[in-house]
Amino acid sequence: MRSSLPLAIIQLEAPPEAVSNLVGEQQHWFIAALGLKPGEYSVVRPDLGEALPEPGTVSAAILSGSWAMVTDHAEWSERTAAWIRSAVEQALPLLGVCYGHQLMAYALGGVVDDNPRGWERGLQQLEMNENAQHDPLLNVLPVHFSAWLSHRQSVIQPPPGAQVLAASALEECQIIRYTPQALSVQFHPEFTGQIMTACLQNSQSSEALSSLMVHQQEPGTPLQLLQDFWQQHRQLSKLA
C-alpha cells in the first residue's frame, strides 16, 4: 500500500475582489469543506497558464465554479475542456461544480447556454430521480435535499449517454453522471452560508439578499456528497 496521491483542485479564475476579501477563493472553500491538509491536495490555475495535471499524478480532480461563462470560450476554458476529455478517457475521477459542471457537460458533447428560467440563487430544493438510487455515490443520500446555488447559465442538453440524476424547480440538470468515475453538480457543495452571502452581496440588492438568506440553515447533504467523493477515491488511490 502506498500513500494516496493528492486531490487536484482546478480553480477556474478567481472571485471578484469584494468576495475574495471576505471569504477567500474557490480553493480555500474546498480545502475547508474537505478538511484537507498540506500534501493532500494541489491547486491548479489554468486561467493563469498553469499546466493541468497528468492523470497518473493525482487521485482525483475537482473543477471549481467561476464567474466566467462557458459560452465565452476563453482559451483556458477550452484547454481545460480538452483536458477533461483526456481525463475521462483515462478514467481519472472527476467532480465538476457549477462552472465545472457546465464545462464537463460541454466538453463531453452537451450544450450550455443561459438558463431560460433565469438565475437560480440562494438555498434551493433538489430532488433526485430513480436513477440516483443505483448510483454508488448518491444512493446513501436522501431523495430531497437543499443546496446553495448561484448560476445564470445551465446545461441545456446533457452529453449523449450521460445520466441526469437530480433536478430543481429552475434547473433540470442538477447532477449528471458521465462515467463510473466522472460526475458533476450544478450546486455548490463547498459553500457555507457565509460564502453564499458574500457572493449574493456582490450581485444583489440588500433587499433581495435579505429575502434569499432569511431563516436558512446550512445544508448537510451536498457536503456529504463532496466528502464521500473524496474519501472514495482517496481510499482507491491508496490501494492502487
The span from the CA of 148 to the CA of 231, in Å, is 22
For 118, counting Cβ atoms within 10 Å of its Cβ (0-12 exposed, 13-18 middle, 19+ buried), the class is: exposed
Which residue type, as a one-letter code, is found at position 70?
A: V
Backbone φ and ψ for 44, nearest 5 degrees, come out as -125, 135
Which residues are catalytically annotated? 98, 188, 190
| Residue 194, C-beta contacts closer than 8 angstroms, at least 6 positions apart | 22, 23
182 grid coordinates: 466522472
Q: Which residues contact 42 (CB under 8 A, 6 or more apart)?
A: 6, 7, 8, 9, 53, 58
Angle in degrees, 0-180, between the axes of helices 206-213 and 193-203, rounded to the nearest 10: 150
Which backbone phi and psi does 25 adopt, to 5 degrees? -115, 175
- d(Cα 16, Cα 36) in Å, to the nearest integer? 24
C-alpha cell belonging to residue 167: 433536478
Cβ atoms within 10 Å, residue 205? 10
Measuring CA to CA, which residue among 214, 178, 182, 218 is closest to residue 92?
182
